[in-house]
Structure 1
C-alpha cells in the first residue's frame, strides 16, 4: 500500500512542469515526504523551500 501511494504521488509530481520548483514546508511529515519525492523525481533540479511563522519562536522553524 505504501509503495502504491508513493507511485501515485510520483505520477502527480511528474505532471508538474519542470519550472523553478518551490515547496512550503510545515515541519510535518507530509511536506517532508513531498520534498523527498520531488528530489527523487528531479535529482538535479533546484528546489526552493519556505516556512512561514508568526515569530522566530514558532516550533516549525527548527524543522
Structure 2
C-alpha cells in the first residue's frame, strides 16, 4: 500500500487565473451549444415544424 505524499515537501500546483479558466471553458460551451442547436433543428425538420417555429 502506498502512502500519501507529505504536503509540506511537494510543490503546490500553481493556480490558474479566472480569465484563463474562462477562456478554456468558453470554446467547450460554444461547441456544446452548437451541438444542441443542430440536434434541435434536426428534430424540428423531422417533425416538419421549422416554419411554424419562426412564425409565432
TM-score (norm: length of structure 2): 0.29
More helix by share: 2
The structure whose Rg is larger is 2
More strand by share: 1
TM-score (norm: length of structure 1): 0.26
Q: Greater relative contact order: 1 or 2 (C-alpha under 8 angstroms, separation 6 or more)?
A: 1
